[in-house]
Amino acid sequence: MKKFFLTYSVFPLIITSILSGGITGKINGYVTNQNGEPLPGANIILEGTNRGAAADQSGYYVILNIAPETYSVTAQMIGYKAVTFTNIKVNPDRTALLNFSLSEEALAGEEVIVMADKPLVQVDRTFSEYIITSDDIERSVMVKSVGELISLEPGMDINGRGMIRGGDMNSIAADVVYYVDGVKMISNDGLSLHNYTGVGKYDIESISIITGGLSAEYGNAQAGIINIVTKEGSKDFHANIEYTNELPGKHHWGPNYFEAAEHKGHMQWDDPEWVSEKDSLTGELVHKKVDYTQNWGYAVQGNLSGPITNNISFFLGGRTSHSAVNGISPMTHSADNYNATWKLSFNLHPKITLKLGGMNSSSWGFNSGGGTAGIRSAGKEIFLPMNEAAAGRTVNTDQMNYLSFTHMLSEKTYYELRISNSINTQTPEDTPDSTSEIHQDEEGWFYLPRKIHAFSKGERKRLGVKFDFST
């Protein structure tokens, strides 16, 4: 069986959100005095940034294009006490409503600080949505990957496969659509996609999961949307590293696989002749037990971020894992895999920002077509050898890079240009030139190793261009 995929797509300039998920939010509200009268001209400041707004004649203000994070917001006006709300959480594609009531000050410099509460009802949300923040991730110390993190939310597949009500991202329908930093991870053209799971959990600022009531901006996503926004560098240096172990054991129900009921009458460990049987082609023992309950695993992930200059910051993250295979498989541990996330942020002007970012991942796996150790085919493949497969292996590489340019034309108007490029490849290795006959033990029950000429090969290149204008 041979499979070849080669696609190249260029998306035209559009003024919609179908190819890009929102990665910023906004704050709006009204500024009034203690009598409820508007205070036009009041200044609203997003602390720690150079962003802010001024209230109009009705006291209304809005601050657009805010990166997802937790902020303090201050409203001030001459003759009135300044009021600061802390713990204001901004989420992608969401609006934080914040109303200020200023009272006249008796002494110059008086200030009121208020701890913000999460609103009971989010008036701008018309669908089922769950948001995972960086604070939530910090508290989830037992969760090792993004897939596991997402699986904890209502409506998600509990096995960490990113499925919502049976729909997934790798089917032809692509019922679940993933966005990473505003770039749509398209995966319904025959190649599997690994990018979203390659993001280290501590590299993420927020994850938005929409499981119902999807709007038209998300195209044909039938089951749900998962929108991941990665972190940016800050004014200070930060570093994080985590090492986790996976304990060995029998991670399945029922007896040991070699003692399963389906092998009754075929496992003859009391028969010396059966135990000492050798493969006529390789000279190796045919019936050998593998103690799959003693495999340890580990995962390592970390990141480094900080300033390069006063106006340029960076973020670098990486992750690798060596997960134990607690079952019958051609490998005792997961194959080598490496994932990296990066982002450069340029504050070119108080109203102009430029961001460059991307992700890279690589991994490989044995081709499973008719010749890897396992418990399929009524357990007949259980004695196939370790560290090899009849059809060789496949190396997967995924690369996504993007450029984002944002220009605030006024307090209430801005535009964003986003250009993204992704390359995904599948490359076969160690593929046999031909397929040999089925080979079994003397009883004619258990399969023995053979060669199978079967592989998947493909390359996908995509260029995405998106222009948003908001006012």
CATH number at residue 168: 2.170.130.10
Predicted pLDDT of residue 190: 52
Tell me, what's the pLDDT at 7? 37
More confident: 403 or 461: 403
| In-domain check, residue 13 | no
The confidence band for 198, taking pLDDT boundaries of 50, 70 and 90, is low
Residue 265: per-residue pLDDT = 86
Predicted confidence (pLDDT) per residue in 82-141, tens digit: 899 988 888 888 888 999 999 887 655 556 666 666 555 555 555 677 888 888 888 877
Neighbours of 170 (CB within 10 A): 17
Residues 6+ apart with CB under 8 A from 9: 461, 462, 463
Q: Are 432 and 451 in contact (CB under 8 A)?
A: yes
Say yes or no: 107 and 135 in one domain. no
My answer on whether 87 and 135 are in the same domain is no
Residues 382 and 326 reside in one and the same domain: yes
SS3 461: strand
Q: Are residues 103 and 143 in the same domain?
A: no
For position 36, which CATH number holds?
2.60.40.1120
Within this chain, do residues 294 and 221 fall inside the same structural domain, yes or no?
no
Residue 153 pLDDT exceeds 90: no
Q: Is the pLDDT of residue 188 over 60?
A: no
My answer on whether 393 and 461 are in the same domain is yes
Question: Are residues 148 and 86 part of one domain?
Answer: no
- The answer to the question of residue 12 being in a domain is no
Do 104 and 197 lie in a common domain?
Answer: no
> Which of 151-155, 216-220, 221-225 is most confident?
151-155
- 18 falls within a domain: no
Quote the pLDDT of residue 419: 94
The answer to whether 28 and 124 have CB atoms below 8 angstroms apart is no
User: pLDDT tens for residues 247-258?
Assistant: 888 877 878 888
Measure CA of the first residue to CA of the last residue in the chain; give whole Å. Answer: 54
The mean pLDDT of 270-296, rounded to a whole number, is 90
Does 196 map to a domain?
Answer: yes
Q: How confident is the model at residue 396 (pLDDT cuts 50, 70, 90)?
A: confident
Q: Can you give the residue range of the structural domain that contains 316?
A: 238-470
Other C-beta atoms closer than 10 Å to the C-beta of 289 total 13
Please compute the mean of the pLDDT values over residues 39-67 and round it to a whole number: 90
Q: Could you tell me if residue 306 is inside a domain?
A: yes
Looking at the predicted structure, is the pLDDT value of residue 20 above 50? no
Distance CA 397, CA 459 (A): 10
- Across the range 4-28, mean pLDDT stands at 52
Q: Is residue 14 part of a domain?
A: no
Structural domains in the chain (count): 3
- Per-position DSSP letters for 199-227, written without gaps between them: S-GGGEEEEEEEEE---GGGTT-SSEEEE
Q: Comparing C-alpha atoms, which of 146, 7, 11, 9 is closest to residue 425?
A: 7
- Asked whether residue 220 falls in the same domain as residue 285, the answer is no
Same domain, yes or no, for 106 and 175? no
Kindly report, residue by residue over 301-328, the tens digit of the pLDDT. 999 999 999 999 999 999 988 888 877 8
Q: Does residue 16 sit within a domain?
A: no
pTM score: 0.77
Judge whether 11 lies within some domain: no
Clarify whether residues 64 and 103 are in a common domain.
yes
* Domain stops at, among 202, 230, 258: 230
* 53 close to 76: Cβ distance less than 8 angstroms: no
Give the three-class secondary structure for 296: coil
Q: So what's the pLDDT on residue 420?
A: 93
DSSP symbol at 331:
-
Lowest mean pLDDT among 20-29, 69-78, 294-303, 368-377: 368-377
Instruction: Examine the fold and report which residue of 55, 81, 115 is the final residue of a domain before the chain moves on.
Output: 115
pLDDT band for position 15 (cuts 50, 70, 90): very low
Q: Based on the domain organization, do 299 and 253 belong to the same domain?
A: yes
Region 447-468: mean pLDDT is: 88
**Predicted local distance difference test score (pLDDT) of residue 165:** 64
Q: Which comes out higher in pLDDT, residue 321 or 344?
A: 344
Of 115, 135, 150, the one marking the end of a domain is: 115
In terms of phi and psi (left: phi > 0; alpha: psi -120 to 50; beta: otherwise), the region of 174 is left
